[in-house]
Structures are given as C-alpha cells and as structure tokens.
A and B are shown apart, each in its own frame.
Chain A
C-alpha cells in the first residue's frame, strides 16, 4: 500500500495531474465484444456457406436431437436473469444475496457445460468425420470455451463480493457489470448458434 499512499501524496502536491475523467472501461469491453462477435460471425458465415454449397455425402446426414440444446438454451437464459438479480442485490448493498445469485449463475453455467459434454459423448459423429461434424464441434466448442471462461469469472467475482473484505461492492460495481455484460453476450451468441445450427 505504500506506493498507493505515495502516489496520493504526489497528487496532493501536484494539483495539475489530479484530473478525473469518466470510467470508460465498459465502452472498451463493448468494443472488444464486437470484435469477439465478429469471430463468431466468421464461423457462422463459413457454416452457412458450407451448408449451401458443399452437400454432404449420403449417409452423413444426421438430424440433431433437440432436447439437450433446448434445455441448454433455457439454462443460459435463466442464468442471465439470475445474474441480473445478483447485480440488483449488490446495488442494494445486499452482498450475501448477490453472492448467492452469483453462485447459482455459475452453477447453471457448469450444468450447461456438463450437458454440452453429455451431448458430445452421445453424438454419432466425431470431429473429423465430415465437414458438418467439424463445423459443429468448432462452433459449439468455441462457444463452450467462452462459457467456461465466463463461469470462472463469475466464480471469481462471487468470491470477491463476500461480505467482509471483498473487493466487489456497491461502490465498485465494475467487475460485476463487466462479467454480466460478457455473460449476456455469450447467451446471445448461444441463441443465434441454437437457431442456426439446430433449427435451420
């Protein structure tokens, strides 16, 4: 803490450098999420082009089962709502409630990943079987990576919003807001992915 104190000292002595500006970390995050979304857009474009111009050989066509991905869609949508509840609770300085909602959100994320793995193990095709299989695993895998990272970040901020000594408080909402935005983004991508990959 000594460097922090000394920097405060420097600021006090030098009024010129003691300027404030608004916090635009969320703005930077939104820009990053647009970039991330473009990666998915590239994958979706590749998948749709393959679907249009590269017909699969006979016998390789497989109708995907819908129950598990539908359950997964519901899980992620509910988790977005529970995350929102966590933010509301933290805003009212109700840290323990917020923490409970966060852990519940992370739990839903983990269930999502388990369901995804369960689906992987029960699909009749592997990564290199044909073009559809490769694209399917690339898209869902890349999204699953995002869910994994998001779940880890939720667990971190849940730990940091503990009642005593946590850094995430109603005065420091940024970590929660940032992860929430990211989580909603990952949900949105899943809905698009669900429509394009499973329903079309």
Chain B
C-alpha cells in the first residue's frame, strides 16, 4: 500500500502561519520543529545555568550562607533534571536530528510528521511543570536520580510533579526515537545505501535504539515510585519490605544508556563538522559505524557500574567493570579517527572547528576518568565525591555542550542564510573553554581528597579550590553573553552566507540556505560520498 507523503504537508502548508509565528504553531515541518527544540532547549539551559551559578555561589564559602541546606538540595535537583531532560537530550537529539536527518536521508520530512510535532509540544508544558515543582510546598530534593528512600521520605508534592514531568519528557523522547528509526531505515531516497549515510544518521539510529529500549524502563520505574509515594506501597521502601537496590538497577538501566543518548549524537555531529573544516574525508567510516553500534550494545550492559557501593555482589562487580572497560575500545577508535581526520588537513580555525577541538580535548579527559571510575577499588574511594561531578561534566558539558555550540556555528548559515560573527565566536570559545576547565578540573582534586557531592557545606580546607571552581563557573556564565549578542546581531545584520559557505558536500548544503519548505526544488540529490573532499580536490587539480 502506498500513501502520498505530501498531501498532508501541502494541506498543512496552506493552513500554517508564515514568518516567525510558525515557530509558535503546531507546525509539521521538520525544520521548524528542529528550531523549536533548539530555542526551547536553550531557554531551559539559561534557567539551568542560573541554578548552576547559584550552586557555585553557595559553594564559594564552606558554610551554607547563601541559601538554606534544603533549598540547596532543591536547586541541585532542578539543575540536574533541567539540564539533562530539557537541554541536552532534546537539543542534541530533537533539534539537530529533526533539522538534519530528513536532509541526510533525502526525504522531504520525517516519517511521522504529526507524531514529531506531538513529541515537541510535550516538552514546553512538562518543562514548565518541572520548574513549577520547585515552587510548591516540598520541592523535589532527591537529586536527578530521585533515589528512594530519600525521594519517598522527603516532602512529596514537588516530587510527584517532578515524576509526572519526567514521564512526559520520556514519552516525548520515545516518540522522537520511533520517528528517527523509521525515517533512517524506511525513508531513505531510492539508491541511497545505509553505508553511504552521513555519520550523524548512524549516531541517531544507535541513539534511537537506546531510547526505545531503555526509556520505557525508566517510565515503569517512576510509575512504581509514584505508587510508593501516593498509595504507600512498598516497592522501594525498606520499612515495608521493599528493596531500594531494585530501583537503582531499573533507574540505571535507563540512565546509563542516557549518557550515550546524550553523547552519541554529539559523536555524530562532530563527525560531520571536522571533515568540512579540515577539507578531508572522514577517516575510517566503517570503523566509525561499527564502533557506534558497539557502544549501543555495550551501553546496555554496563549500568551497575554506578552501583559499586550498593552492596553489589563480587561477580556483578567483575562483569560490569570488564564490560565498562570494553567501551573504551570503540570510543578510542572514534577518537583516533577524528584525530586522523584532522591530520594533514587544510584546517580552518573558525568557531565551529575550535569548539569541536575543545570537545576532543575535554572528552578524552572525561573518557580517561571514566575508565578510572569503572575500576571498583578506585570507584569505591571516590564514590559520591566531586570526582564524579567533574567526570560527568567533562562528558556532558565538555563533550556534548561544546558540540552543541560547534553545531550552532556550523549550521547557523544553513538555517538563517547569514554568517555568525567569527570574532565574537572565537571570544565565546576562549571564555567557555577557560571557564569550563577552571570550573571542573579542580573538582577532580576535591573529589580525590574526599569532598562529598550534593552537600551545601564542606570542610574549610577546600575553600580556596572551590573558589577557583566558582570563578570558572562565573566565566562560563559570562561566556553566554557574546554568544547571545552574536546570535541577535548576526540574525539581523550578519554577512550573507550564500547557499554553501563551507563548500560542504553533505546533502543539507546542496539546496538553498535557508532551505525551501520541501527541502529541495526538484528531486533530492543522491549523495554517495558525503565526505569526498580529497577526491574533489584531486579532480580539481
């Protein structure tokens, strides 16, 4: 049976508002939905960043003088939840995925445009619910992990709203994942083979498989947790015969793959950006594909390395240590491939390239501390200390957020037809890179010396290092200013970019910038070699 893809779209087109108003409508255009994800995510990033600044101000002194202890716990819970579920996951999957994947597979829209719009429009209400949960009596204060019995015994109305909000966001994520899998597998233009797809498609395919397999488990777990809170059942309440470790297993069965849900798309995006700005083909395409799929498989069987101090039996520790160490292999392959892509290339030093290189440096560091944390003796020593905080932020901020900025610099001309200002962009990179490393590198030392995380007060001997970290956080907050100025100035008065300012070969650049509603005037081009830069150079000379 065949159906017409475009009847609903053209139909929709005549009913849609034009201009900037379409970004506030139930638009079915994948490009509009991508921008909706990005801008919505960035607004929540600003909220989450403000909360992070509040945390660092509190930690500039050893006593809890900036805010009371329970407020501190509420702030860090909200910071973690907003940053993960409303900024990183929606932006790195939803925003760039929606904008780029239909171009990459040569389609005019996603496989299920209506489901796509539903998935986006679940985010603003659940995000507002999450923020609102802070203002009700008894805001959630059990961290983004919501570990029982803490989440059951602390005041609960905020925790319930928190659970509802995360359930809705999980639903949105699953709908997005289903859409990406169907688009990449089923909607490829005729003649385009799987092994010719740009790397971001593979990354999104792997990510979506993880989303579909693991997010429902989190949903089920949170439903059981809400039963414990509302109906006073005892699933995770030891007083009623329940078992808290079962919650941890189920939670980390989602939340470890969630790290790959946040990082694999960034791997894909950096694989798109580096070849363009180094004018070289992506090194080791096939190994990249297999390492992504290797990470997907291994990522599903390493969750208990978050639980080495939860009374985990020795055989389990052994298995999860070895499985975790194995992940370093495919990840290492990817790193060598990126470095080899840069090697001997004609590198242009621009903002997109700088942020991508910053990503490589930060992520190598975060990856090494990750391998260290997988070792049981070391993990037990630094468990629940600032070492873990530093490791996690090196992965998620130093890794994914750097790539989000890199991608914004790379694809801004595509979306708007204007270039971003390079001087402001480089300033943005320098402040972000210095601020980020100043903020989080000292936290490794703090953790190794035993400063526990998620506590508002600490031993005064750590004050100086904490103040260095807080100055770094201040720089990170300042770094947003040149970025925002850049966006607003360039949107109005930026240099006109032309259709393909980077001379890139991937399909999204083979149309006008900004692209027409149907993505291409005429048939979608068949791009068999999205990274054929060397060949092009060879043929020209």
Contacts and interface: CB of A to CB of B under 8 A. Distances in A.
A20 B187 CA distance: 11
Interface string A11-29: 1001011111111110110
Contact of A24 (B174, B182, B215, B223): B182
Interface stretch (A1-9, A74-82, A93-101, A110-118): A1-9
A38 B15 contact: no
Contact of A39 (B220, B240, B522): B220
Nearest to A132: B241
Interface in B1-27: 1-11, 14-15
B340 interface: no
Given A24-B111, A24-B186, A57-B241, 20 more contacts: A8-B7, A11-B4, A17-B6, A19-B6, A20-B4, A23-B2, A32-B174, A36-B216, A38-B213, A38-B214, A39-B219, A42-B221, A42-B253, A49-B243, A54-B243, A56-B241, A131-B235, A131-B241, A131-B242, A173-B1
A46 B243 CA distance: 10
A158 B185 CA distance: 33
B212 A11 contact: no
Given A131-B234, A131-B235, A39 B216 contact: yes
A199 interface: no
B217 interface: yes
Contact of B187 (A17, A21, A142): A21
B181 interface: yes
A17 B174 CA distance: 29
B224 interface: yes
Interface in A122-145: 127-128, 130-131, 134-135, 138, 142
Contacts of A195: none
A35 B213 contact: yes
Given A16-B522, A38-B214, A4 B3 contact: no
Given A19-B6, A39-B217, A46-B246, A131 B522 contact: no
B3 A35 contact: no
Contacts of A11: 4, 6-7, 10
A110 B222 CA distance: 29
A50 interface: yes
A131 B236 CA distance: 9
A152 interface: no
Contacts of A56: 241
B301 to A, nearest CB: 14
Give the interface centre of B179, B181, B241 by most chain A CB atoms within 10 Å. B241
A41 B182 CA distance: 23
B249 interface: yes
Contacts of A41: 217
B250 A42 contact: yes
Nearest to B187: A21
B178 A31 contact: yes
A27 B182 contact: yes
Nearest to A36: B216
Contacts of A19: 4-6, 108
Contact of A16 (B11, B14, B240, B523): B523
Which 8 residue pairs across A and B have the least CB separation, nearest first?
A7-B11, A42-B217, A39-B216, A134-B233, A38-B216, A42-B220, A17-B6, A24-B186
Contact of B234 (A16, A23, A128): A128
Interface in B226-245: 227, 231-235, 240-243
Contact of B216 (A14, A20, A23, A35): A35
B521 interface: yes
> Which among B7, B108, B187, B233 has the highest number of chain A CB atoms within 10 Å?
B233
B112 interface: yes
Nearest to A9: B10
B518 interface: yes
19 contacts: A6-B11, A7-B8, A7-B10, A11-B10, A16-B518, A16-B523, A17-B9, A17-B108, A20-B4, A23-B1, A24-B187, A28-B182, A31-B212, A35-B177, A42-B220, A130-B241, A131-B243, A138-B233, A138-B235
A200 interface: no
